[in-house]
Structure 1
Amino acid sequence: MSVVTVSAALVTVGACGAAAENQDPESSSVERLQVEVVEELPHDPEAFTQGLEFAGETLYEGTGLVGRSTLRAGPAGEQPTRTVALPEPLFGEGITVVGEKVWQLTWRDGVAVERDRHTLTEQRRVQYSGEGWGLCHQAEPGRLVMSDGSSTLTFRDPATFAETGSVQVTEDGTPVEELNELECVGEEVYANIWHSDDIVRIDPDTGAVTARIDASGLLDTDEQAGADVLNGIAAYPGTDQFLITGKLWPKMFRVNLVPVT
């Protein structure tokens, strides 16, 4: 699998999304950003991406659909070096790495699977109520952050998976629904918004959206024909950049987040 580097010039894609267009920039405290493509990498077009996260140089990806759900690990842009399947009828969702383990959510099965980070072998299953969508880990204050497709983020203990609290996510006072795949970066949480090309940056202590990121225009018309929605955001280690992709996308994109022009 080859890697395409965008070297002639950085490519800025997208324009302000629908939500941004309906906001008066003068009256909003939400920063408006868009993606600037630095590099294109191949992605398995059969992967129904539900979770994406780096741990060191290893990229972990959780995929969904009954009978096709997996957890994969390996270098970004290359064939995974390890892949394990979730048995039917489980439908895989978000993932996150916590120390020497990986948590993997399921959609409506009410089960979180704990795996060994290195071998991906299953260690145990923990039950929870409601749907599982996205998941990430905040090292400080030491908690998991989980989405369920609503405007609520739920906090969980990273060792027991027990619920410890929740917060409603709002943008200028309006609830933000369909929070999907999550990425924790320091004190902030980034969330894909289902059925859109937008990503929001959230203060998880207050639930306030502090930035809306337009990630539209990454795939061309032919690529879009076989692809599903944008879903998958991973902070690139040692940089301020992100790797983003989507369900059944043939590519991943290493991007900078820059002000909308």
Structure 2
Amino acid sequence: MSKRFPFILPVLLPVILLSCTKKQASEEEAASNPMAIHYTLISTLPHNTEAWTQGLVIYQNKILESTGQPNRSWIAEVNASSGEHDKKVTLPGQYFGEGITVLNNKIYQLTWEEKTGFVYDARTYKKLREFTYDTQGWGLTHDGKNLIMSDGSFKLHFLDTATLKPVRSITVMDGGTRVKELNELEYIDGYVFANVWNTNWILKIDPATGKVVGRIDLSAIGEQIRVMYPEANVLNGIAYDANSKALLITGKLWPKSYLIRLQ
């Protein structure tokens, strides 16, 4: 049975805040780089090193994680104490699992090149339907009304939840540069947060305009992981807990997840 997410903070937070919480940048750095979003490290948690993380969500106090790879794609409830997976959905071998999100008690899941998505009952994990799309499938989140999907390009697509077809798309721009390879997504307080594949960056994106309005540099965590565990792959995974206002972040084959709070 998976541990419920809020149990993490009451146990660890008093000690962590006194002993190892620190700011990641100085006031001078903040002034010189107004786009930078700094964070405080709250705690580290174990993560399943067999998980090629594609999606990370906190839903009804549970951590849900989706993984990808041929014959190794699943959706699981995560035990916060051990990082172990209680697999709830295992995809057939021909599918490469990608991002997930939960809306209206339904789990939506993308696949990479198969152009096929799945919808499950979030309580029973029973498959309710399949849907198709014309692009690759990468990250997935929602704004309470539409699904928001990335496809490896510089576009974000907004999907109607009834038809599961695009109703609009935006081009993501950082200054005058289009940003491609947007990976795992999370919608937080009116903005889309996106991992950028093969980097240690998470971007904060205005969904109305596609404009990048902030950047989180997680290089310190990414470099630490690679020293500890050379087989670890890229940063990928953002889950927001609205109760604690904290982010859980991790990566593909990482041995740890990190609980952070944005400054």
| TM-score category of the 2 structures, normalised to the smaller one | 0.7 to 0.9
Aligned to 2:207: 204
Cα offset, 1:223, TM superposition: 2.8
Cα offset, 1:83, TM superposition: 2.5
2:97 matches 1:92: yes
Cα offset, 1:119, TM superposition: 2.1
1:199-248 deviation line (CA, Å, top 9, x unaligned)? 00000110001101001122344434010000000112313220000000
Higher relative contact order (CA 8 A, sep 6+): 1
Write the mapping of 1:20-39 to structure 2, written as runs, cut at 5 A: 31-39=35-43
Identity within the alignment, %: 39
Structure 1 segments unaligned to the other structure (5+ residues): 16-20
CA contact (8 A) 1:57 1:75 kept: no
Cα offset, 1:118, TM superposition: 1.4
Write the mapping of 1:219-230 to structure 2, written as runs, cut at 5 A: 219-230=224-235
Aligned to 2:251: 246
Counterpart-to-counterpart distance in 1, 2:36 and 2:181? 19
Q: Counterpart of 1:175 in structure 2: which amino acid? A: R
Counterpart-to-counterpart distance in 2, 1:235 and 1:174? 27
Which structure shows the bigger proportion of residues in helix conformation?
A: 2
Write the mapping of 1:44-83 to structure 2, written as runs, cut at 5 A: 44-78=48-82, 79-83=84-88
1:100-139 deviation line (CA, Å, top 9, x unaligned)? 1100000000000111101222221111111000000111
Between the two proteins, the alignment pairs up a number of residues equal to: 246
CA contact (8 A) 2:204 2:214 kept: yes
Q: Counterpart of 1:216 in structure 2: which amino acid? A: S
Aligned to 2:187: 184
Aligned to 2:137: 132
Which of 106, 123, 126 lines up with 2:128 in the alignment?
123
CA contact (8 A) 1:196 1:229 kept: yes
Structure 2 segments unaligned to the other structure (5+ residues): none
Counterpart-to-counterpart distance in 1, 2:37 and 2:167? 32
Which of 129, 145, 148 lines up with 1:145 in the alignment?
148
Farther off after superposition, 75-84 or 42-51:
75-84
Change (3 A) 1:62 1:50: same
Farther off after superposition, 153-162 or 46-55:
153-162
Counterpart-to-counterpart distance in 1, 2:140 and 2:261? 22
CA contact (8 A) 1:33 1:211 kept: yes
CA contact (8 A) 1:107 1:132 kept: yes
Counterpart-to-counterpart distance in 2, 1:246 and 1:188? 21
2:21 matches 1:10: yes
Counterpart-to-counterpart distance in 2, 1:211 and 1:121? 38
